[in-house]
Amino acid sequence: MNRDRETSAILIAGPTASGKSALAIRLARAYGGSVINADSMQVYGDLRIITARPTVEEEAQDPHLLFGSVDGAVNYSVGRWIADAERALKTVRAERRLPIFVGGTGMYFKALTQGLSDIPPVPAEIRNQVRADAEGVPPEALHARLLALDPAMAAKLRPTDPQRILRALEVFAATGRSLLDFQGSRTPPLLDIARCRAVFLTPDRTELAARIDARFDVMMGQGALAEVERLAARDLDPALPVMRAHGVPGLIANLRGEAPLDAAIHKGKLDTRRYSKRQFTFVRHQLPEFEWMPPDEAFDRIAASCS
């Protein structure tokens, strides 16, 4: 493929279990591409199995970047990912390979193609204090705390989303202002969406639900419980993103004797199916430039635009 082609990058988004990784690997092999992770859970080195990260063998066949590159103790964020993505993009371009971003985290794709909200950095001591004050506090109570300080921002967040609630509390503690005040101004995007092939895979919803359930069973057979047990042994802050990966809370409850294994598995499947619905909603409202297409048509349609 001509490295000076009009298509500067391929962006593959989609709900979990829709076949994104397989498509990215196939395109990388066909067009000399490098696969760059855009999934907020697949960044963590602690979790390969339960996040359905590409296998060691798959990663060895073509260049893969930003997979398993972050320790679970790190409170990784969109801002950190953008900084890492910029470095990865420079590496791929220097090698004159095709950048192929793949993942299910809509916020990553939004930051990549629309820029990042220009939020002042939160000093480490303030972040650590907010996190310490929040340790062991239920998400609903954290939401109530934010509601008292910043009702406008609290109204935009789900009471069950501790990570975003903590982020809003950190910004308020550091600046005395609502996170909403900073979300209007954005940094320049890394990619011009007009020069990218951006797609969102749209499997049949019923089929997708069945695939999510089947994949979870496969992951359990591959050692997901032992993987989560190793993570739990680290005794990390439960508010960290890695501790909230789909399947992790339920399996940790099982390991602690708080829930039977079948209930933990059911919770993991249910949480994942619910998340897949939110992925559709996010892309519909936040990523209007992405073209929706069935997974079984995606390779041929993308290939036609890259030839």
For position 163, what pLDDT does the model report? 83
- pLDDT band, very low/low/confident/very high, at 5 (cuts 50, 70, 90): very low
Average pLDDT over residues 75-85: 94
On the CB side of 67, CA atoms within 13 Å amount to 23
Average pLDDT of span 280-293 = 96
Q: Is the pLDDT of residue 2 over 60?
A: no
Q: Where in the chain is the domain with CATH 3.40.50.300?
A: 9-116+186-306
- What confidence score (pLDDT) does residue 124 get? 84
Instruction: Give the tokens for residue 293.
Output: 């297409």
pLDDT at 307: 63
CATH number for the region 124-182 comes to: 1.10.20.140
Q: What is the reported pLDDT for 6? A: 56
Write down the pLDDT at residue 3. 40
User: Any bridge partners for residue 85, and if so which?
Assistant: none
Q: Is the pLDDT of residue 299 over 90?
A: yes
What confidence tens digit (pLDDT) does each residue in 138-171 have?
Answer: 999 999 999 999 999 999 999 988 888 999 999 9
Model confidence band, residue 210 (pLDDT cutoffs 50, 70, 90): very high
The burial of 306, by beta-carbon neighbours within 10 Å (0-12 exposed, 13-18 middle, 19 or more buried), is given as middle
Tokens of 59: 């990663």
Torsional class of 32: left (φ above 0), alpha (ψ -120 to 50), beta (otherwise): left
Q: Which residues contact 113 (CB under 8 A, 6 or more apart)?
A: 11, 189, 190, 191, 193, 196, 198, 287, 289
Has residue 108 got a pLDDT over 80? yes
pLDDT of residue 1: 42
Low-confidence winner among 46-50, 121-125, 294-298 (lowest mean pLDDT): 121-125
3-state secondary structure 129-161: HHHHHHCCCCHHHHHHHHHHHCHHHHCCCCCCC
Q: Which two tokens stand for residue 168?
A: 């809003």
**How high does pLDDT run on average in the chain?**
94
pLDDT band at 94 (very low <50, low <70, confident <90, very high): very high
Per-residue pLDDT tens digits for 219-257:
999 999 999 999 999 999 988 999 999 999 999 999 999
Report the C-alpha gap between 83 and 306 in whole angstroms: 27
CATH classification of 9-116+186-306, choosing from 3.40.190.10, 3.40.50.150, 3.40.50.300, 3.90.650.10? 3.40.50.300
The answer on pLDDT for 109 being more than 60 is yes
| Residue of 7, 10, 17, 35 lying closest to 91 (CA atoms) | 35
Distance CA 104, CA 13 (A): 6
The string of pLDDT tens digits covering residues 43-69 is 999 999 999 999 999 999 999 999 999
Contact between 141 and 160 (Cβ < 8 Å): no
pLDDT (mean) for 184-204:
92
Residues 158 and 171: their CA atoms lie apart, in Å, by 17
For residue 121, what pLDDT is reported?
Answer: 79
Statement: residue 117 has pLDDT above 90: no
Lowest mean pLDDT among 3-12, 184-193, 281-290: 3-12
Instruction: Write out the residue limits of the CATH 1.10.20.140 domain(s) in the chain.
Output: 124-182
Whether 185 has a pLDDT exceeding 90, the answer reads no
Tokens matching residue 152:
């406008």
Tokens of 265: 């598995």
- The count of residues in the chain is 307
4 has a pLDDT exceeding 90: no
Q: Are 154 and 147 in contact (CB under 8 A)?
A: yes
Please state the rounded mean pLDDT for residues 6-26: 94
| C-alpha–C-alpha distance, residues 238 and 171, integer Å | 20
